[in-house]
Structure 1
Amino acid sequence: MIFQHFIPQSLPSNLLSLLVLLSSTVLVTAEDFDCHYVSTGGSKWDLTPLKGSHTVSRTRDSPPTTMVDELRFNLCKNLKPMHGVSDDEQCPTGTRACLRKINKKSESTDRVIAVIPVASTSDIEPVLSQLDSPKGLSLTFSGSRYPSSSDALQFINFSLFCADDADPKADPTFVSYENGVVRVDWSSPAACALPDDQPPPQTPPQAPPEDEDDEDTPADEGGGESDAKPAKRGSGLGFFFLVLLLAFATYFILGAYYNYSTYGARGVDLIPHRDFWREVPYMLQDVVSHLCSTVRPQRSTRGGYIAV
């Protein structure tokens, strides 16, 4: 249908067979594809149990080294960057499926010899088709050209097989990578079509971002009073002291200017009401002494006579 007008005769037979398969399936845009509600051929699926990042690999011996094909993918969202891995050794942002070829040799550092974005959001063009034997769903994503200077398009095909008794968290299987096509098999209850009388699953509410997680926030210990009120009281007290400090600063600045402009005062004579501030320490000393003399007899009072 859609591919029959531009399939070149020089394409490998495996890729031709894949394109013929795609020509009889339903194509949707990346925006239309939603893991929460996938529909084709009159059937519908809920693929939310398969969400998240998954990593599968296969190992091939090539003495004296070993080749590891490492595939990372996410059916529903873009892959997050890998921590501790340089940008040139991982796929760019906006990749749904990334294939890395790693060469391993004993007593040598692993070498990443190829990084292939086999599915990119900008080129994804999801293709859905219903599987009959065994029952399930075929899902194909497309990627960019690799290398970028060639005409070799990349694809990844997921064969999701219905398995009622399978572990919901069972890992997918890396089947092959040939002629730019990655094949992955995955048995899961999520690959079983939903009953006709079951309504489409609703999109669950979005969880808060990880960096906004407030699990470490202590719970309220009061009788249901919000923490916002103590914060406001603290802010009001701080504002009071700020105003008081500004008032004192204004008093000393204006007083010093008055003494300077009126009396030509210099040095400590600039302090307004200088004699009063000199007496403040003595006044405080008298207050403390009076308080001590008032409290001391009460602490030492006891039965008997008091010395006069």
Structure 2
Amino acid sequence: MAFAYLTALLFSLVPVLLAVTALAADEELVKHCRFTLEDQTFDICPILKAGKDSGGWTVESVRQTPPTVTKTVYKISLNGPLPRNESWSDQYQCPEGTWICMTMYNSRPGHEDERPRILQKVPVAGRIALPESALSAQEAEEGKTALNVTVQLSQYPKGDIRHRMLHVRYHGGSYVDLRQIADMQFICDHDAEEPSSPTFAYNWGGQHAFQWKSKHACGQTITNEPVDEPPPPADPADEEAPPSDNEEGDSEQLVDLPPYSNRTSRASWIMFLSSTAIVALVAYTAYNPPLPVRRRVIAFIRSRPSLTRFRVGENVLLRWAQEDMGYENDEEDLMVNGERDPIFFQDDEQIPLKPSPRKGLVPTYGSAAL
């Protein structure tokens, strides 16, 4: 009997222990408002403390949707779940465990007597129980989504290289099988009035973005400067030592060169070998062209006689031959044929020269047509 009472007592304490564990996890999350990201440290604890003291934030946006007006209201709590309104039905408020809740209303201008109609109730972020979860407390706890807060620094904005936008994203929401994310975009503003509040930026594809200007969003850069050590006392024995090579002091620091890379030399060799191969291929093709190419080139040259007008005609060759044979006996023949034989003066035969059609793409002189 005592064992049965002890077992019932333990099972009754399980929901209390689980609730305390969840609350401790949320408080632990809030305590981690000081963190280091890349080379900067951030402290957004004053922002969270101000929200806890004021009961959270309310962000509204109005959009004209004729003939109606659509109003979107965000309830934001970054210190824990939003409080429940016991006088409202569950279908008119976000599920238990929601940190950020969006409500969309619709109303008709000029009909102030009509109550606004609720269009959407979206749990954006939090530790929310999934639909049709198990009945036991332990299974219900396992069925809850994770808040999973993440932080990220954006790129340097234009015109400002000192501070970068800090993104703090809250997860865990779901609406019509679409995951929801709240993106708090903290912007450094030294002139912002505190306590500051977020403003609505956009809502697209389940991502709800808010811009938050605050002086607490300015990160502090971590500097690891070595401490200057005093120089050692001068040794009297080294007073006559030669001066150091660096006579100009440490005004210019030495910078290590980038590591050597053989990619440049490798690319140069590849280009050289490729060019050599192309030139060799072109030279071989020109010296020993394939038969189809040779036929096409010969046909092309024959179809265009203007390309061969540089050749000397037969009449000119004949006149040159007559001039060569007209030398006197005592005149010196300066031609490469050597001294003229007298037989050529007695022979009236005229031998015109014509191009040789035997070999080569361009006809050459050297054959005689009798």
Please report the TM-score for the alignment, with normalisation by the length of structure 2. Answer: 0.41
**Greater relative contact order structure (CA < 8 Å, 6+ sep):** 1
Structure of larger gyration radius: 2
Provide the TM-score with structure 1 as the length reference. Answer: 0.49
